[in-house]
Structure 1
Amino acid sequence: MTVRQATHAGSWYSDDAEQLDQELQRWLDDVPDEIPEIVPSGETCSLPINGTRAIIAPHAGYSYSGPNAAYAYKCVDTEPIKRVFLLGPSHHAHLRKCALSQCTKYATPFGNIQVDTEMIAKLKTEGEWDVMSTQVDEDEHSLEMHLPYIYKIFEHKIDKIKLVPILVGNLSQADELYYGDMLASCLHPDENLFIISSDFCHWGHRFNYTYYKDDGASRRLSARQPPPDGQAIWESIRQLDYKGMEVITRASNRDFKRYMEKTSNTICGCHPIGVLLGAIRALYYDDADAPGPRLRFIKYDQSNRVYSPSDSSVSYVSGYLQLP
């Protein structure tokens, strides 16, 4: 038995179970039972949402993104769920494929979450996967930052929940569709939940990304120049991210790929999102008349409102996928 240790506890989030539980509960309680959808806007949804098969949520330190992630987790109707597929980007290991965990349990300050070793073995027989070393697994934060929330919302039935961690590499569009096709049959059953781990725009010179758009023209800002005369930089970032969210709600891997190529937005989970969109495509490609998927975003935040080109920020979003 190999247990993946909670290596980011005590730094990225509290390693004190009581304090962590209080924080998570407070953030979940702060999410209204009815909230307006922000992309596309106009409708209000009641939480939890029946038929939620996937959520998109951030993975930064909890002081930055914990309150935002609560919105995604509040969408989940936990009753039918038995298995959680957790897809996150690889920030450290260079991967060209998706990698499965070799651990049997994932530790949290609350206790361990059981890994679905049978499902992992099944996936290995059906496609081309890498396997994470324990070192790679424990170095990566994009998966770990979701574990306390997973444990929290399923604490009443945690012994019945199994986890399928998947570290997503730097995939081509064809590979996103390949893995999406392999996972499509797992996306539809209501006993499964997919969690897509992603932050949105990382803006600033420390991220080598200073995209700015105003009056239809886009350009790169220099750290030494004064603030632009047009809209504030944080507003340009928001506009960029909102466009990205709007494209994702189309549930089209092709459209999202075009958006990424056009803007180079630093969405670190773009490939996990691409795999999800690939799975949706596989489910609905041959059945155009079937009721379609419903992808919506309900929360958007920035770590800092940027006014100066020398400043920086990271964006966080929460969204859900509802299948009929």
Structure 2
Amino acid sequence: MIVREPAVAGSFYFEDPIELADSVKHCIGEFVDAGVHARALIVPHAGYMYSGGVAGAAYRLLANCAQNFNRVVLLGPCHRMALRGLAVASYDAFATPLGEISVDVNACQDLLDKGLVQSSNEAHQHEHSLEVQLPFLQACLRKFTLIPIVVGSCMPDEVYKVINALNVEGTLFLISTDMSHFHTYQQANAIDNFNIVRMLNFDTDLSGEDACGSNVLNGFFKFCDHAKWKIRMVKYENSGDTAGDKDKVVGYASFILY
């Protein structure tokens, strides 16, 4: 069995399993009935000290529907290499300090057979945008398989087709993205609030300046609009709120879709 080992344990989150479990629990807080059954979440992917509270505010809303999910489709941007299109990997499992998560290898192979994705272990090996979500999922869901997809430069239709192919009962979609990067605190608030409105309207022309996961979001929002899903913002903060430095901040927002 080929296992993708953690790449950012000890930097983005605790390497010690007890400390990690405690920090995830702290980020999530008390589980809350969202009043709706989630179909998807949009969450940030920075170190937990920066964005863990924003992510946790969305994860806690899985309280009334966690039992509905037996697999998670996790999509996030590629930070470590130039990638054209979408990529799965040949790993059988992804590991965190909390244990291993089995990959739905049959679903990944089906995407490959249909020509919707490529296979690239290199794109996944050091990518944090997917990895930082895994301990949250392990805390919120009991037993599930994972379809991890790294997204590079692509058109919205490419992401749309992948999501459409995977949209079956029992699937939670998880979109990993941060918002604006390295503006002042005041500028970031203005930019991010403007783009949050665009996201709530399912705009499909977001750029990398708006959100690092813009390629994922544009295709995902095209699907959401077609499927008549609804969206609600859960929480917004930036690193100036969570880490103190307000000169160059990164924005974080989380959303629930239902």
Does the TM-score normalized on the shorter chain lie above 0.5?
A: yes
Q: Counterparts of 1:177 and 1:51 in 2: how far apart (Å)? A: 26
Query: Which residue of the partner structure matches residue 5 of structure 1?
Result: 5
Superimposed CA distance per residue, residues 177-226 of structure 1 (whole angstroms, 9 cap, x where no aligned partner): 23313322433x4410011000111024xxxxxxxxxxxxxxxxxxxxxx
Residue aligning to 1:184: 164
Aligned equivalent of 1:99, options 87, 97, 112? 87
- 2:223 counterpart SS class: helix
- Mapping of 1:292-303 within 5 angstroms? 292-303=228-239
Q: CA deviation at 1:30?
A: 5.5
8 A Cα contact 1:181 1:278, kept in partner: no
Residue type matched to 2:130 in 1? Answer: L
Q: For residues 285-313 of structure 1, what are the alpha-carbon distances to aligned partners after superposition, in whole Å with 9 as ceiling and x for unaligned?
A: xxxxxxx32111110011116xxxx9200
Q: Which runs of 5+ in 2 are unaligned?
A: none
2:73 is matched with which residue?
85
Residue of structure 1 in register with 2:18 after alignment: 18
Match of 2:211 in 1: 267
Structure 1 stretches lacking a partner, 5+ long: 34-46, 205-232, 285-291
- Cα distance in structure 2, aligned partners of 1:276 and 1:106: 24
Paired residues of 1:104 and 1:114 also in contact (CA < 8 A): yes
CA drift at 1:170: 1.4
Paired with 2:195 and 2:123, the residues of 1 have a C-alpha distance of 29
Q: Return the letter of the residue paired with 2:149.
A: I
Q: Give the aligned partner of residue 279 of structure 1.
A: 223
Give yes or no for the alignment of 1:315 onto 2:251: yes
In the alignment, does 2:134 pair up with 1:194?
no
CA 82–49 in structure 1, closer or farther in 2 if over 3 Å, else same: farther
Tell me how far 1:20 sits from its aligned partner.
0.9
Find runs of 4+ consecutive structure 1 residues off by over 4 angstroms: none
Structure 1 residues 101 and 317: CA distance shift in structure 2, 3 A: same
Matches within 5 A, 1:36-47: 47=33
Contact 2:185 2:247 in 1 (8 A): no
Kindly, what percent of the aligned residue pairs are identical? 29
Distance 1:185 1:129 in 2: 12
Q: Which residue does the alignment assign to 1:27?
A: 27
Q: Is the 8 A contact 1:200 1:241 kept in 2?
A: yes
The aligned amino acid for 2:135 is P
User: In structure 2, how many angstroms separate the alpha carbons of the residues matched to 1:198 and 1:91?
Assistant: 11
| Conservation of the 8 A alpha-carbon contact between 1:177 and 1:275 | yes
Contact 2:112 2:119 in 1 (8 A): no
CA positional deviation for 1:49:
4.6
Q: What does residue 200 of structure 2 align with?
A: 249
Q: Which amino acid aligns with 1:295?
A: I
CA radius of gyration, larger in: 1
Letter in 2 for 1:177: D
TM-score (norm 1): 0.73
Task: Say if 2:188 and 2:250, in contact at 8 Å, map to a contact too.
Answer: no
Paired residues, what number?
A: 252
Question: Post-superposition shift, 1:57?
Answer: 0.4
2:106 matches 1:118:
yes
**Aligned-residue RMSD, C-alpha:** 1.9
1:139 corresponding residue in structure 2: 126
> By how many angstroms is 1:240 displaced?
1.4
Deviations 1:232-286 (A, max 9, x none): x523321211111111111242xxx1x54xxx634111111112113224x44xx
Letter paired with 1:274: N
